[in-house]
Amino acid sequence: MSKRIDKASVLIGAPQESIYQSFVKEEAFKRWMAPHDMTMEIESFDAVEGGTFRVNLIYDDKETAGKTADNVDSYTGVFKTLEPYNRVIFTVEFDTDDEKYEGIMEQEWTMIGQGNETEVFVTCRNVPEGVDQEVHERALIVALYRLADHLGAEIR
């Protein structure tokens, strides 16, 4: 199992509650969580502690090889911790036969309010070795910007 940890953080000009709701509302999650070069399809989504979600990420470039099949990355997630307005922890496990992408990655999203702004930290633990660290950390920053954009908020 990988011991690698990838991190990113930004200050978003939005209150903690709005940011938290973007994790637990299916349509919001779908809008911002997908990488910029992919489309997200959600097969199931149960945002309660212990609840699961199933996602298909489809590369916009049909020639890009997916981890699961053709141009698709599929994964199952489990919501481990839902601490309203402060923290969301979930795991992600890719549906793959490629050993480089196997294992359970944990994503911890922490929200620290500063008035009407929120510092958002994401820490990914046990990142599969097949996931390039530089690319992944850049993708985490992009996700944070997409979150801010979804909320109509600025990055500070």
pLDDT at 63: 82
Task: Count other C-beta atoms under 10 Å from residue 109's C-beta.
Answer: 22
pLDDT at 36: 82
Q: Quick one: tokens of 58?
A: 């489809």
CB 108 within 8 A of CB 122: yes
DSSP 91-125: EEEE--S-GGG-S-EEEEEEEEEETTEEEEEEEEE
Please state the pTM of the whole predicted model. 0.93
Q: What's the average pLDDT block by block, 10 residues per block, for the chain (156 residues)?
A: 90 97 97 90 98 94 84 94 98 95 96 96 96 94 96 95
**Sequence spans of domains, the chain:** 5-151
pLDDT at 88: 98
Domain 5-151 grouped into CATH 3.40.640.10: no
pLDDT at 1: 60
pLDDT at 107: 98
pLDDT at 146: 96
Cα dihedral across residues 32, 35, 38, 41: positive or negative: negative
